Structure 1
Amino acid sequence: MSGIGPERTAALAAKVEAFVRDTVIPYERDPRRDHHGAPTEELVEELKEHARAADVLTPHILPDGSHLTQRETAVVLTASGLSPLGPLACNTAAPDEGNMYLLGKVGSPDIQARFLKPLVEGRARSAFFMTEPDGGAGSDPSMMQTHCHQDGNHWVINGRKTFITGAQGAKVGIIMAKSDDGACMFLTDLPHPAIRIDRVPNTIDNSMPGGHATITIDNLRVPADQMLGNSGEGFQYAQVRLSPARLSHCMRWRGACIRAHEIATDYANRRMAFGKTLIDHEGVGFMLAENMIDLKQSELMIDWCAGVLDGGSLGTAESSMAKVAVSEALMRVADRCVQVMGGMGVTADTIVEQVFREIRAFRIYDGPTEVHKWSLAKKIKRDWKAAQAGSGVA
């Protein structure tokens, strides 16, 4: 990736940050929310129109269709994340950002024209159908139970999916299913009569339009040319998407925690207790100091992993390390912000309590901390065995 260079990246990030602070943040009190507390489609479309007018819609994808480097993307997505509404307004939110990256990398020209173009233009939302209920694929994708078989020039898909972010209201679906050859990945238009939303549960987070739905797929027929690649290559393409997508989560939520830290810092410098401002009490001041440390360490971890991905590696181990380190560090930051603000920190009067909830969910989404640690431990064992074999040690 060649990117646009540090100066243009800084200017673009500053433009995105100014838009989020000046235009998006005032919308945080907008009452247009669904019964799960997520912003309505009407609100999201209005924000996108503002972003389009400000020339900050989908800023991580250049007019020629190429992407910023991962390091450049980190700066821009962090700026968009300063408000929970920022990624929705700027079209940098999950799952769309990860889906755009995947289709831009491996989609055929026809797939890109039909499915990718409306996503990049902010005219459609998408959903990624991978996780399953009832003993199916989750942290272990090899357990996939949704199956597919070829019927003439179509593939027929049956199964159930769960925690499918944004499925309600999405126009583009990417579905993973298992054939006799292995995992496959398909594109389909949404809504579709063969794809039924069974329920959308209330969850601890509510920043994503459409929530996290449970889905039944009943004899969905997909034209063969809407398969990504070939039968059995689905896991390969999933890794193309998941490694940078994990890192993008880290970028956006770091932006949210920077904002929460700003709010907590302002509160601690204004609130008086026992004859002095809160920040002058070591118990409070030290928490804010620890926030600075965790935010900086998160920035460095993101930059390191982004460099690996920019170097051409899938970076599976690196993205696992970044996901664990950053999500755990940001959870500490969000928790301290609530604690510093006391009663005010648990109210909806600021975004601090929402950031806390969203980061708590982030520790699970895209692989829980424990699964990533387990994966890294397996790598440590493999590397040790390889080193032993190479040294001739029995």
Structure 2
Amino acid sequence: MSWDFETEPEFQAKLDWIDAFVRDEIEPLELLGEFHPADKSSSATTTLIRGLQDQVKAQGLWACHLGPELGGQGYGQVKLALMNEIVGRSQWAPYVFGSQAPDSGNAEILAHFGTDEQKATYLQPLLDGEISSCYSMTEPQVSGSDPTLQKTTAILDGAEWVVNGEKWFQTNAQYADFFIVMAVTEPDVEDPYRRMSLVIVPAETPGVEFVRHLEVAGEGSARTSHSYLKFTDVRVPAANLLGERGGAFAIAQTRLGGGRIHHAMRAIGRARQAFDMLCERAVSRDVRQGRLSGMQMTQEKIADSWIEIEQFRLLVLRTAWLIDRHQDYKMVRKDISAVKVAMPAVLHNVAQRAMHLHGALGVSDELPLASMAHIAEVMGIVDGPTEVHKILLARELLKNYTPVEGPWPTAHIPTRREAAREKYAELLEHQVASQ
């Protein structure tokens, strides 16, 4: 039996290096608001990030989620969890470590389902950090939580796919060199989950239009990372089909399972940042009766926050361990959904408490707390909303239960008492007779 909460010394040394590197070299980049780490066309961004990426590569920590054949370390999810809860403290850090979304998930599906030509054209430059990508799925007209309702189409016209439709809230679209577009290619197939395919669309293709860029609260116009896109008679070669026709949904699950757990790993880092700010404020701020840290309601906020973070962290690590053990996201669906449900609640709760304790400063843009609270809400929407994951989790759990026969539940005490008396009747009769 193996049951251990310790990290082996060799990997702990790497975690210690990551912690210091993120704190001293990467977190200061957050203050340079006029740059975005996904903008590979910016010489300033390239200058800022390349040297740091070289240091990460020298430590053997580049793109650790990928196997050695793709230039990574092939780390399991437990190691990735321990890394990402540090990397998650900074928006820039995933780019420095080669693990940023959506590029990490796009690289994964290109590696698994891409042709040799697609890998050479898109995957390798993506792995090298030379280009950015966008996973183009959500649409403005339909519920994002049900991809079977999507309207975007890709029709095969001779040797070309013709793509028409609109896509909404597209992460890093304005910086992307290519889009992986989910579109309906098999409208007449009975199974709605087999009607869609993935098509690679280079960003410069005629007919690709940016309707507008969307500024998420707390982001700032210079750091906008989402866009509203329109595809009008966009033509790409038939060879740009990624995977098989009708296989979009199955392929998407390949990237979303890992994406959800990695979001959760990084959320731990943000929650800890908020917790540190909460505690620092408590021991620093004087009120009439003394320090805030001496007030019972402040102590309650601190205790609740620490407990929630630690509970969530253990759930994430256990889920990561299960993924490593089974090597199959389908077998860990309920656990990943549980993590996805808990993530926004924990981050929001801790950020809100810290924000409240800082008063007006907490809700201003001079602290990152309001942005953290907003990010928590975003995390409750992306990759499937909280409600959908609660439903999935409950359904998976209920599979382990069967209806009772008769009117009484199995815990019904009178029924159990009668059964117990029948079971021990002979013993009880002997006991009575001997008295």
Q: TM-score range by the shorter chain?
A: 0.7 to 0.9
Distance 1:156 1:382, change over 3 A: farther
Structure-1 residue corresponding to 2:237: 223
Distance 1:47 1:323, change over 3 A: farther
SS in 1 for 2:182: strand
Amino acid at match of 1:24: I
Structure-1 residue corresponding to 2:205: 192
- Contact 1:200–1:212 (CA<8 Å) still a contact in 2? yes
TM-superposed CA distance for 1:234, in Å, is 0.8
Structure-2 residue corresponding to 1:149: 155
Deviates more, 1:151-160 or 1:328-337: 151-160
Residue 367 in structure 1 maps to residue 406 in structure 2: no
- Contact 1:204–1:361 (CA<8 Å) still a contact in 2? no
- Contact 1:339–1:345 (CA<8 Å) still a contact in 2? yes
- Contact 2:208–2:229 (CA<8 Å) still a contact in 1? yes
Amino acid at match of 2:213: V
Distance 1:156 1:363, change over 3 A: same
Normalising by the residue count of structure 2, what TM-score does the alignment of the two structures yield?
0.80
Structure-2 residue corresponding to 1:83: 90
Distance 1:388 1:61, change over 3 A: same
Cα distance in structure 2, aligned partners of 1:195 and 1:7: 51
TM-superposed CA distance for 1:248, in Å, is 1.1
Distance 1:40 1:103, change over 3 A: closer
SS in 2 for 1:200: strand
Residue 295 in structure 1 maps to residue 295 in structure 2: no
SS in 2 for 1:123: coil
- Contact 1:327–1:363 (CA<8 Å) still a contact in 2? yes
Q: Deviations over 1:131-166 (max 9, x none)?
A: 01112x510011011111222333222111111111
TM-superposed CA distance for 1:303, in Å, is 1.3
Normalising by the residue count of structure 1, what TM-score does the alignment of the two structures yield?
0.87
Amino acid at match of 1:86: A
Distance 1:363 1:148, change over 3 A: same
- Contact 1:170–1:191 (CA<8 Å) still a contact in 2? no
Q: Deviations over 1:229-272 (max 9, x none)?
A: 21011100010011111111111122112112112222221222
Structure-1 residue corresponding to 2:418: none
Deviates more, 1:312-321 or 1:100-109: 100-109
| Superposed counterparts of 1:31-46, under 5 Å | 31-32=33-34, 42=42, 44-46=45-47
- Contact 1:59–1:76 (CA<8 Å) still a contact in 2? no
- Contact 1:118–1:124 (CA<8 Å) still a contact in 2? yes
Residue 279 in structure 1 maps to residue 285 in structure 2: no
Residue 240 in structure 1 maps to residue 245 in structure 2: no
Amino acid at match of 2:280: D
Cα distance in structure 1, aligned partners of 2:80 and 2:8: 11
Structure-2 residue corresponding to 1:18: 20
Structure-2 residue corresponding to 1:131: 138
Structure-2 residue corresponding to 1:64: 69
- Contact 1:100–1:120 (CA<8 Å) still a contact in 2? yes
Cα distance in structure 2, aligned partners of 1:151 and 1:222: 10
SS in 1 for 2:122: helix
SS in 1 for 2:211: strand
Distance 1:287 1:98, change over 3 A: same
| Superposed counterparts of 1:234-383, under 5 Å | 234-310=248-324, 311-314=326-329, 315-380=332-397
Structure-1 residue corresponding to 2:117: 110
Cα distance in structure 2, aligned partners of 1:8 and 1:367: 37
Q: Deviations over 1:163-217 (max 9, x none)?
A: 1111011112111111125110122322322211111122225289552211111
- Contact 1:6–1:72 (CA<8 Å) still a contact in 2? no
SS in 2 for 1:54: helix
Cα distance in structure 2, aligned partners of 1:48 and 1:300: 32
- C-alpha RMSD of the superposition: 2.6
SS in 1 for 2:139: coil
Q: Deviations over 1:96-139 (max 9, x none)?
A: 2222232233333332222122222111111110001112x510
Distance 1:270 1:117, change over 3 A: same
Structure-2 residue corresponding to 1:140: 146
TM-superposed CA distance for 1:11, in Å, is 3.3
What count of residue pairs does the alignment treat as equivalent? Answer: 379
Cα distance in structure 2, aligned partners of 1:298 and 1:46: 37
- Contact 2:62–2:98 (CA<8 Å) still a contact in 1? yes
Cα distance in structure 2, aligned partners of 1:175 and 1:165: 13
Amino acid at match of 1:277: R
SS in 1 for 2:69: coil
TM-superposed CA distance for 1:57, in Å, is 4.6
TM-superposed CA distance for 1:85, in Å, is 3.0
Dislocated runs of 4+, deviation >6 Å: none
Distance 1:191 1:318, change over 3 A: farther
Can you give the 5+ residue segments of structure 2 that lack an aligned partner in the other structure?
A: 1-6, 190-194, 405-435
- Contact 2:343–2:379 (CA<8 Å) still a contact in 1? no
TM-superposed CA distance for 1:89, in Å, is 3.4
- Contact 1:58–1:121 (CA<8 Å) still a contact in 2? no
Amino acid at match of 1:23: E
Amino acid at match of 1:371: V
Report which structure shows greater RCO (CA 8 Å, sep ≥6): 1
